[in-house]
Structure 1
Amino acid sequence: MIIDGVSEGYSVLLDRDTDVMTSPVHLWSFYGCSSPTEPDLSAGSPSSDSDQSFSNSTSVESFRYQGVRVKNTVKELIMQKRHHEIQAQQYHIEVECPEITRVLQATKRCAENISQIPVKRAATDDTNILSPCSESLFSESEMLDDIGDILSKDRVSIDSVTVRGFNSVPMCTSPEEHIPLQSLYTDVEKHMYSGVHQLQSIQNTFSCSVLVPTLSATTVPPVSFFEWQIQQEEEKLAGLSHTELIARDGDGDTFLHIAVAQGRRALAYVLAKKMATIGMLDLKEHNRQSAFQVSIAANQHLIAQDLLSLGAEVNTLDCWGRSPLHVCAEKGHNNMLQVIQKYMQTSGRHVNMEMVNYDGLTALHVAVLSHNAVVQELSCHMTPSSAHTVALVQRRKHLSDCINTLLLMGASLETKDRKSGRTALHIAAEEANVELLRVFLDQSNYFSVINAKSFNGNTALHMASALQGRQTQADAVHLLLRRGADPSTKNLENEQPAQLVRDGPLGEQVRRILKGRGHSRS
C-alpha cells in the first residue's frame, strides 16, 4: 500500500530490515513538532514533482504530514513473514518409523521438482497439463506399495505415525476411511508453487483418494455409550461389599430399587448383576415389589429388559396381588408387555398368563375394565378438543394395544373371574364397548364364549340388553346377534335378554333388534 505525496527520502524513518517504524525519535513527523535530531530534508529527495516540492520546504513549522510510503506492500510483508516461518518448519517431519519418513519425503521431493518442469499448453483449450515426465514422478502406487511393505514388515500401525510442521491431519482408523494425499502437503503447496496453473495441475494429479492400511492388532473395538457407562459404574462400585449391596432404607428399598425408580440404567445393570451373583436379584421392598416390578410400574422398559436377561422373576405378586402383567394391563404399558413377550420367545421360560390378583381377575380382565372406564369417561366428556380428552383418547389406544398383545401372548377368552364368573366378553358387554367386542369376536375361538354364562346365568347378550343410558347399546346387541348370540337363552332368574331391556326410545330400538326386525346401523 502506497500513500502519494510522501517523499521516499523519509524511508530512513523505517527500520531497514523490517520496514516498520521502530524508533520513537522519528515520531515527530506525526505530531508536527521539532525533533532533537532533525534530518536533512533536502538529502536524498526524489525527482517526482510532489516529492520535490515537499523537499524544498525551509521550515519545520510549515511542514504538514501527508503520509508514509513503504517499500513493500502489506501483502508482500505478510507473505515474506509466512515464508520465513514455513521454511523453519515445513521440512521437519518426525515419525516413529524412519522408513515411512523416507517414502513420504521422497514423494514430497517429487512435488518440489514440479515447479522446475515446464508446463505444456494444449492447443485446443487453456487448461494446463503436466508433461509425461512430470507424471512419472508422482507414482502413488509405488509409494503405497512401499508403505504397505514397511507396515507389514515392521508390524506397526499407521496410527502411531505423527507428523509435525503441518496442519493436523487425522489418520485413518478403519479401512473404509480415505485420506487425500494432497492434504498432507497443504501448507507446502501454498508456498512452494508460485504459478496458479501449476498448483491446479498438481491438485488434479493428487485428486484420487488413498486407502491407508491399518493393522487390526492395534485397533480397539468400539464400545457403545451404554457399555462405556457400565465400565464407569463398575469402577465406582468395585469396593461395594455384599452387606452394603443388600442394605435397605426405611422403606425397604435397596440401592437397586432406587436406581431402577430413578431410571439410571447403567447403575441398575451393575447392581443387578452383582445381586444376581449372590441370588438376591428378586429381593423385595416393603410393598413386596422386586426391582423388576418397580421397573414395570415406572415404565422403564430398557431396565426391565436388562433385569429379565439377568434372570429376574416374572411370575411374582406384590402386596396387592398384582403380577407384572396386571400392572401393565392397568396402566397401559404396552411396551413393557412387548418386552415380556420377547423374553418368552427368546428364553423359552413360561409366563403365567392366567394368574389372578386378589380380586380374582386376570391381566386380560384388568385391561378390559380399564378400557371400559376410559370409554365411559369419554362418553361423559363434553369438550372433545380439550387436553384431558386427548389424553383419554391416547390412554384408550394404549389399553387397546395391551389387550391385543395379551391375546398374542396367549391370554384366554374363556377364563372367568373368580368372583362372578365373567369372561372378558362379559366385561366388554357390560359397558357396550363395541371396540373390544369386535376384537374378541374376531378371535378364532370366539364361538366358545359367545353364549358362555356367568355365575348368575347371564350371557354377554343379557348384560348388553340390560344397560341403560349407553348410546352404543343397540350396536353392541346387534353385533352379538350377528356373531351367534342366542336371544332365547335364560339366566338363573329364568329371564331372556329381551326381558331385561329398559323402557325408553333406546330400549324400544333394542327390543326390535332382539326380535329380529332389523337395525339401521351395523
Structure 2
Amino acid sequence: AKSEAFPSDLSPHLLGHSGPVNSNITNVPHASPENGHIAPQEHLQNLPLQGQLAPTAEVKMTLFHWQVQREAQRIERVSPELLNMQDADGDTCLHIAVAQGRRPLAYVLATKMAQCGSLDMKEHNGQTALQIAAATNQQFIVHDLLAHGAQINTRDVWGRSPLHVCAEKGHFSSLQSIWRTLMGTGQPIDIEMFNYDGLTPLHAAVLSHNAVVKDMRSLENICSFMAKELEQRTQKYVECIKTLLLMGASCGTKDLKSGRTCLHMASEEANVELLNIFLDQPSSLYVINVKTFSGNTALHIVSSLQNHKTQVEAVKLLMRKGADPGSRNFENDLPSQLVPEGPVGLKVRQILKGKYFHA
C-alpha cells in the first residue's frame, strides 16, 4: 500500500487518516492541551528558524513558532520523494495535515513542498491543499499556503476555484484571508472564473443564499434555535458576497447556461436583502435591465413569482431603481403579463403601472 511508504510518523494512518480527504470537514482540531499542541513553558525561548518566521533576538518564541520548530525537526531528514508521495486517494501528507487542521505541520510541509515545486499537487478530486483549507474554512492555513506561493486560480474536477468553494459554503473568513493575503502582491485573482456549471464565485454565493432563504420561507412554525441558525447562515453568505464585490466581482456577469446575472438570481427568490446590495452598486443602472438568454429582465422574473411574501417589496425596489416595466422578453411578454392572478398579483400590477402605495 502507498501509505506504507510514507515516513512512519507522517503516514496517512498515523495522521489519523483513512479514506479520501473530506472537503466537507467542518470540525478540525485546534491547539489545545488535549491534542498535545501546547508546549511546556520552558521551551518557549528564542530558537533559530528559517525564513520570515525567525523571531528577533531576545524575543520569546510564540506557541506557533515553537510548534513549527518542533515539526521541522521531526521531518528534517524526510526526502522530497516521500513528502510528495500520494496515497490511493491522491492525498499527500500536506493534504492530510491541512484536512486535520494541523497548522504547524502543514506550514513545515508547505515550506518543503514549495521548495521542490509541488505545493499545488492535486488529490483525486483535483483539489490542492489550498482548496482543502478553503473547504474546511481554515483561514490561517489558507494564509500560510498563499504566503508560500500556492496558486489561487486552480480548478478541481468540478471547475471550482478556492473562491468558489468559499462562496458555496459561506466561508467568509477564509475568503477574506485570501483577499488580505494576496492584496498588493501582484498575484492575479480570477474573480470571474466560471466553474463547469457556468457560475462565478459570486453566482455561487447568491444561489447558496437563495437556498437558505427558501428554506426559511418553507419551514412553518420554525423553532427559535433553527431560525437563528438559518439567519446566521444567510449572514455568512452576505459577508461572502460583500467581500467578493470588494475584490472586484461584477454583479452584471452572466452565467454561461442561461445568461442570468446575480440580479436575476436574487429575483428568483424575491431576495430583497441581496437586491438591495446589488442595486446599491455603482454599476446597478447598467445592470438592472440586462436580459437573460430568453430576454427576461429581473423585473420579468420577480413579476412572475407566485406565493412569495416579499414579491411586492422586490417589485417596488426594482421599479424605484430604474427597472423598465415596458421591456419585452423574447416571447414578447411585458412583466405585467407574467403576473399571476390573486390579491398579491393585483398589487404587483398596480406597482408596474406606476401606482406606488404602502402595502
Q: Which residue of 2 aligns with 1:453?
A: 291
Could you tell me which amino acid in structure 2 is paired with residue 332 of structure 1? G
Q: Please report the TM-score for the alignment, with normalisation by the length of structure 1.
A: 0.57
Matched, 1:442 2:280: yes
Shift of 1:348: 2.1
CA distance in 2, matches of 1:428, 1:375: 10
Matched, 1:520 2:354: no
Shift of 1:414: 1.6
CA distance in 2, matches of 1:389, 1:251: 39
Pick aligned residue for 1:319 from 138, 142, 157: 157
Higher RCO, Cα 8 Å, sep 6+ = 2
Shift of 1:438: 0.5
Check conservation: 1:329, 1:367, Cα contact below 8 A. yes
Check conservation: 1:323, 1:357, Cα contact below 8 A. yes
Shift of 1:349: 1.2
Shift of 1:388: 2.5
Matched, 1:236 2:54: no
Matched, 1:472 2:310: yes
CA distance in 1, matches of 2:243, 2:58: 42
CA distance in 2, matches of 1:391, 1:311: 36
Q: Find the residue that maps to 1:506 and give its secondary structure.
A: helix
Shift of 1:337: 1.0
- Residue by residue over 1:89-113, the C-alpha shift from the partner in whole angstroms, topping out at 9 and shown as x without a partner, is xxxxxxxxxxxxxxxxxxxxxxxxx
Pick aligned residue for 2:233 from 372, 376, 395: 395
Map 1:477-488 → 2, pairs under 5 A: 477-488=315-326
CA distance in 1, matches of 2:254, 2:120: 30
Shift of 1:384: 4.0
Q: Which residue of 2 aligns with 1:41?
A: none
Could you tell me which amino acid in structure 2 is paired with residue 323 of structure 1? S
CA distance in 2, matches of 1:384, 1:347: 47
Map 1:341-352 → 2, pairs under 5 A: 341-352=179-190
Map 1:100-111 → 2, pairs under 5 A: none
Check conservation: 2:146, 2:182, Cα contact below 8 A. no
Q: Which residue of 2 aligns with 1:154?
A: none
Shift of 1:321: 1.1
Shift of 1:382: 2.0
CA distance in 1, matches of 2:205, 2:169: 8
Shift of 1:239: 1.4
CA distance in 2, matches of 1:346, 1:412: 20
CA distance in 2, matches of 1:430, 1:238: 56
CA distance in 2, matches of 1:504, 1:383: 25
CA distance in 1, matches of 2:98, 2:121: 13
CA distance in 1, matches of 2:100, 2:298: 44
Shift of 1:515: 1.2
Shift of 1:343: 2.1
Could you tell me which amino acid in structure 2 is paired with residue 463 of structure 1? I
**Structure 2: which 5+ residue stretches go unaligned?**
1-44, 46-56
Could you tell me which amino acid in structure 2 is paired with residue 484 of structure 1? G
Could you tell me which amino acid in structure 2 is paired with residue 341 of structure 1? W
Matched, 1:339 2:177: yes
- Residue by residue over 1:173-200, the C-alpha shift from the partner in whole angstroms, topping out at 9 and shown as x without a partner, is 9xxxxxxxxxxxxxxxxxxxxxxxxxxx
- Residue by residue over 1:145-184, the C-alpha shift from the partner in whole angstroms, topping out at 9 and shown as x without a partner, is xxxxxxxxxxxxxxxxxxxxxxxxxxxx9xxxxxxxxxxx
Matched, 1:283 2:283: no
- Residue by residue over 1:190-216, the C-alpha shift from the partner in whole angstroms, topping out at 9 and shown as x without a partner, is xxxxxxxxxxxxxxxxxxxxxxxxxxx
Map 1:495-510 → 2, pairs under 5 A: 495-510=333-348
Q: Which residue of 2 aligns with 1:212?
A: none
**Structure 1: which 5+ residue stretches go unaligned?**
1-172, 174-218
Pick aligned residue for 1:249 from 75, 87, 108: 87
Shift of 1:242: 1.4
Matched, 1:432 2:259: no
Q: Please report the TM-score for the alignment, with normalisation by the length of structure 2.
A: 0.83
CA distance in 2, matches of 1:505, 1:459: 23
For the aligned residue pairs, the C-alpha RMSD in angstroms reads 1.3
Matched, 1:494 2:325: no
Over 4 Å off, 4+ runs: none
Shift of 1:311: 0.0
Q: Work out the number of aligned pairs and report it.
A: 304
Map 1:193-208 → 2, pairs under 5 A: none
Q: Find the residue that maps to 2:238 and give its secondary structure.
A: helix
Shift of 1:400: 0.5
CA distance in 1, matches of 2:61, 2:301: 59
